Structure 1
């Protein structure tokens, strides 16, 4: 199914009284999942919500969360696990709450959530999930303003192709890949109908106001360019005609010397990712990052995203200060893209889990800076992969990225 642009219609849901879009955040640090649910349900009990998106620590039982939240709220729900918790900002700032809900009420908009197990054909599964979301919204043959996704890590490029098959390439897709706390594969997703480790989830937004989106990183090009001379999907066998791990190690002053015969390098490479230049017609170029996570016994580098054969890759550099300060700037960029006459009423954010783990306790400074830059309710997820679009409008999957969507009224 492909769709065309269409005009806004009326939501068949239970709104707040009045015509104003409202966004609220409910968060809990309770260690017990049932107690956490009690807290967030009580916070949002007075609302008639159009959509709820949740982020949670994998220490919580996803099945229990799904059961309690679907009993409490009758709107579309989507949720994904977030590394060490999720970011929740409203009256207070919680950088790593165990459970955070982002609740939207918009009686003049339309919303829907679709999900499908990834299986052996993630592109087809993505198509099916999006078609379900559009059907739930009541706007099957129209183009939404935004897609927000929560995905299992591993096949994100194929998933984005599947979304494009349905709505075309020009609808912004933002979101992230579910995460656990130790990269052991314990990530999960849930929606109204089920819980899983491989659920492709997507929400369609036909909001009554505008959206501003931003997708960026806190890294700078080092000036060293490498060529991917032998690749296979997410495995980089050669750089500049040399074994990839060996050549990469030379460029980062021996930081992975002890792992050249095989081993995990995730933490060692967070401040030295590989970047693909995305030329911009106006303004400075952007960079889409790939994060090396391991060295194979044959000396190849495995990545969290795909690179192409013979693609030029820039060695990027980052710093703790840059990663702490960048999130607020990405949020501000998204806010500035709203029409001047519209007031920002809330935001969704994605912040790479690798960046969060690298800045450590500075995550609280990052959250405080985001709060200081925007007086609105915000939820953020710490993810193992980020989906977004630069100013050129093309949707991409990357690593170590930050994104924001700001909703206007």
Structure 2
């Protein structure tokens, strides 16, 4: 789908298919986030819209969506938000809070947030927790990254939720490199309980390539090694959509989703 339609599209899909339906998606991208994006199918090209493919799988499908980020410690309540605009956190200008939590200023003269200057950092909303087979409990977050600043307001790539707690998250380059392989391996291991893997779909944030530059190739190499000859479709986008194990379908950023189809 094109930027700005993600949350409403997810809501419409949930209305039709119900909570818990597996959804795998991405937001289209261009090189500099200047609106020079498009999407196409076999019959035409569109600047705005959503493309949907329905899979009626006769065998098992295993799906995970995660990020390689961890809570930094700071959190606050979104006290004012309008659409993609995060206006205040704890009644303070969101931009001021962002710079205070980040500890540096990644906002360049054009008002854009530079991924290179920001490093591996983002806001996040908590979406619940997953209890693993070994008893471990993993807290799940989906990331909502700022891309523009205007006075005290931040424009995000996903909708901030007014009244909800927002967390400051950080990642490291090594964890980003390893995340793709780990998420894929987790999905493959789970799918092997249901049969042989026949193919996969990987959705990865283009922000990784912006922040990591050529180092992002390590993540691609990790993906190829993990799938070990199983056919896989990989995409890079400006947003990632997926369904958590608690059935919550989300749109976030800096995320990685892995889907494996069994034979």
TM range (shorter): over 0.9
| Aligned match of 2:239 | 385
TM superposition shift of 1:403: 0.4
Q: How far apart are the structure 2 equivalents of 1:355 and 1:234?
A: 21
Query: Normalising by structure 1, what TM-score?
Result: 0.60
Q: How far apart are the structure 2 equivalents of 1:229 and 1:154?
A: 21
User: Mapping of 1:7-406 within 5 angstroms?
Assistant: 151-256=1-106, 263-267=111-115, 268-269=117-118, 271-280=120-129, 282=131, 283-296=137-150, 298-338=151-191, 340-375=193-228, 376-406=230-260
Q: How far apart are the structure 2 equivalents of 1:308 and 1:274?
A: 12
**For structure 2, which runs of at least 5 residues remain unmatched after alignment?**
132-136
TM superposition shift of 1:333: 1.8
TM superposition shift of 1:185: 1.4
SS of 2:34's equivalent in the other structure is coil
| Number of matched pairs | 256
Query: Normalising by structure 2, what TM-score?
Result: 0.92
SS of 1:204's equivalent in the other structure is coil
Q: How far apart are the structure 2 equivalents of 1:258 and 1:194?
A: 37
Q: How far apart are the structure 2 equivalents of 1:280 and 1:341?
A: 24
TM superposition shift of 1:215: 0.2
Q: Deviations over 1:307-331 (max 9, x none)?
A: 1112111100011111111011111
Q: How far apart are the structure 1 equivalents of 2:180 and 2:78?
A: 30
SS of 1:277's equivalent in the other structure is strand
CA contact (8 A) 2:60 2:194 kept: no
More RCO (CA 8 Å, sep 6+):
2
Q: How far apart are the structure 2 equivalents of 1:407 and 1:364?
A: 25
TM superposition shift of 1:408: 0.7
TM superposition shift of 1:165: 1.9
TM superposition shift of 1:220: 0.7
TM superposition shift of 1:192: 2.1
Q: How far apart are the structure 2 equivalents of 1:257 and 1:245?
A: 10
TM superposition shift of 1:196: 0.8
Q: How far apart are the structure 2 equivalents of 1:300 and 1:258?
A: 15
Q: How far apart are the structure 2 equivalents of 1:309 and 1:367?
A: 36
CA contact (8 A) 1:214 1:404 kept: yes
Show structure 1 runs of 4+ deviating over 6 A: none
Q: Deviations over 1:82-130 (max 9, x none)?
A: xxxxxxxxxxxxxxxxxxxxxxxxxxxxxxxxxxxxxxxxxxxxxxxxx
TM superposition shift of 1:248: 1.0
CA contact (8 A) 1:210 1:339 kept: no
Instruction: Please identify the structure whose Cα radius of gyration is greater.
Output: 1
CA contact (8 A) 2:26 2:238 kept: yes
TM superposition shift of 1:372: 1.5
TM superposition shift of 1:255: 2.3
Q: How far apart are the structure 1 equivalents of 2:53 and 2:107?
A: 43
Q: How far apart are the structure 2 equivalents of 1:212 and 1:337?
A: 7
Q: How far apart are the structure 1 equivalents of 2:58 and 2:67?
A: 29
